[in-house]
Amino acid sequence: KAQLPKLQEEVSREQLAHDHCKNQWETLQEFKKSIEDLLKDYTEKHSAMRDALWALEQAKQELLNAQVELADQQKVADDVINGLTPLAQASKQAKIDLEAATQQQKDVSEKLQKASDETEGLRTDLEKIRQADQIATDIKQRLSTLLLTIDAHHDAAIREPLRRFGLSEETDLFDPHIGFSKDVTATDVFTDVADGVAGLHVTCKQAMVNFNKITADVDLTPLCDLPEEHTTVRMLGEAVQKRSDRIAEDLEKVKTWLDPYKGNGGKCRNAQDENDNYVMPGNPLGEPLGLRRMVALQASTHFWSEYVAHWKKKGRFLELLNGIQSVITGLDSRISEATKLVGQIAEELQLADQEFLRATNAYTAAEQEKDLEKQTELQKLKDLQAALEQRGLTLEDLKQRFEEARLAVQKAKERLEAEHASKVAEANAGSSLEVQQEHIRRLDVGFHKI
């Protein structure tokens, strides 16, 4: 019981709160209905504003589209003019690559031409030296022919007469049957000489008996004043032996003129020695054939001392010929190296040609793609221009449309505000004027934002 008053009081407060909420709800319902009526009236009476707003939105969107299209048009035009498109850049790079490949090909071609010119120069020099060597070889051969001819003359003028006299290279001057004797006192003829000396002495011995008888009238004893017998025999033998030996010696010397290699010493006693030790066929340092046959007979001539002697082994002329061979060998080596270099450069040129062909194909393809792209971009420009012409609008037209739409909105807004204020004043039954004005302000702000 003690809590009943409190409960009743609490119920009473709850009832009052309930009644207050009910009143507020009814007020809100009336305000809602007022707003709905206002919006309905706004919708019905201000369709012009919606049209204006829609026109404004369209003008704005069209302006934006036009700006985008113009920007795209400018980019396409710039790309076409300046070649800044990716394909144009690719074409530009392909052109750079082609120029580099062309320069590489030109450089390698110049190297090849230089190497070829150098090789040709070497070949020309080699040919000149070969010709000089051939001429020198011809001179050497002609000299050999001349020397052999001179030797043939030696044979006809000296050796053949000696042979006709019976003297030959095989003749033994002391042959016991036909030659000289190394002891002339051992011959039968010298025995007869000794006997004759002895007989003369016997005769003189007998004659002296008679000569002594007539010495008073005529002294004939000197007729038998003979040298001592044995001394005479010995001296006679020695005189003959001495002369025989000298004649044999002279004939032995004469016999040496039958040898065409007289005066050459032991290394050149015959044709085989001459061929093996001096001529040496195939060797550029070999002497002309026949030179060794000139030594004995022609060594005192100017032709020998001033010319032929220089063709001797290790002589000045053969050293000159050897110098030619050395030059030829060096040139052959240089030509081989130059030929090898030309081959290497030719391979480089082949690679450069391949790179040039690749770059040419790439550049051609890039140019074709670039041209196609340029045609496409130009077509785009034409399409954009045609679209603008077809619309018949310029940027100023769009701005004018935007301005007209804005003025229509402003006019509709002012009319709406006037009608709205009047409507609110009439419908202000349960809600406060401030609340309705706040709602109108918010609507106004919303219109401005639109």
| Model confidence band, residue 274 (pLDDT cutoffs 50, 70, 90) | very high
DSSP string, 23-72: HHHHHHHHHHHHHHHHHHHHHHH-HHHHHHHHHHHHHHHHHHHHHHHHHH
Question: Contact, 424 vs 436, CB < 8 A?
Answer: yes
Burial label for 418, CB within 10 Å (0-12, 13-18, 19+), is exposed
pLDDT of amino acid 450: 45
Q: What average pLDDT score do residues 332-350 get? A: 79
Q: Is the dihedral of CA 64, 66, 70, 72 positive or negative?
A: positive
CA separation for the pair 326, 324 (Å, rounded):
5
pLDDT tens-digit map of 70-119: 566 456 545 545 554 666 677 778 778 878 888 887 887 788 788 778 87
Residue 132 in this model has a pLDDT that exceeds 80 = yes
Residue 348 in this model has a pLDDT that exceeds 90 = no
Nearest to 443 by CA among 416, 409, 411: 416
Residue 10 in this model has a pLDDT that exceeds 80 = no
Q: Please enumerate, as own/partner, the contacts of 284-288 that have beta carbons within 8 Å and a separation of 24 or more.
A: 284/318, 284/321, 284/322, 284/324, 284/325, 285/313, 285/314, 285/318, 285/321, 285/322, 286/313, 286/318, 287/311, 287/312, 287/313, 287/318, 288/140, 288/141, 288/143, 288/144, 288/147
| Model confidence band, residue 271 (pLDDT cutoffs 50, 70, 90) | very high
Which pair of tokens denotes residue 17?
A: 């709160």
Q: What average pLDDT score do residues 316-344 get? A: 82
CA separation for the pair 307, 2 (Å, rounded):
173
pLDDT tens-digit map of 179-211: 899 999 999 999 999 999 999 999 999 999 999
What type of residue sits at position 378? Answer: L
CA separation for the pair 102, 360 (Å, rounded):
9
CA separation for the pair 185, 278 (Å, rounded):
48
What type of residue sits at position 208? Answer: M
pLDDT of amino acid 21: 75
DSSP 269: S
> Quick one: what percent of the chain has pLDDT higher than 90?
34
pLDDT of amino acid 258: 94
Burial label for 52, CB within 10 Å (0-12, 13-18, 19+), is buried
CA separation for the pair 358, 374 (Å, rounded):
24
pLDDT of amino acid 245: 95
Q: Please enumerate, as own/partner, the contacts of 432-439 that have beta carbons within 8 Å and a separation of 24 or more.
A: 435/31, 436/31, 436/34, 439/35
pLDDT of amino acid 104: 81
31 to 24, 372, 420, 425, 429: CA distances (angstroms): 10, 69, 14, 12, 9
What type of residue sits at position 206? Answer: Q
Which pair of tokens denotes residue 247?
A: 């004649």
Q: Is 374 strand, coil or helix?
A: helix
448 to 39, 414, 442: CA distances (angstroms): 17, 12, 10
Range scoring the smallest mean pLDDT among 29-38, 151-160, 434-443 = 434-443
Mean predicted lDDT score pLDDT of the chain: 78
pLDDT of amino acid 1: 55
pLDDT of amino acid 19: 76
Ramachandran angles phi, psi of 187, nearest 5°: -90, 160
Which range of 95-109, 147-161, 323-337 scores highest in mean pLDDT? It is: 147-161
DSSP 158: I
Q: What average pLDDT score do residues 370-388 get? A: 66
pLDDT of amino acid 262: 93
CA separation for the pair 298, 262 (Å, rounded):
11
CA separation for the pair 24, 22 (Å, rounded):
5
pLDDT of amino acid 55: 58
Q: What average pLDDT score do residues 348-357 get? A: 79
Compare 136 and 105 and report the one with higher pLDDT. Answer: 136
What type of residue sits at position 311? Answer: W
Which pair of tokens denotes residue 369?
A: 């793609």
CA separation for the pair 386, 381 (Å, rounded):
8
pLDDT of amino acid 281: 87
Alpha helices in 155-219 (DSSP H): 160-164, 188-213
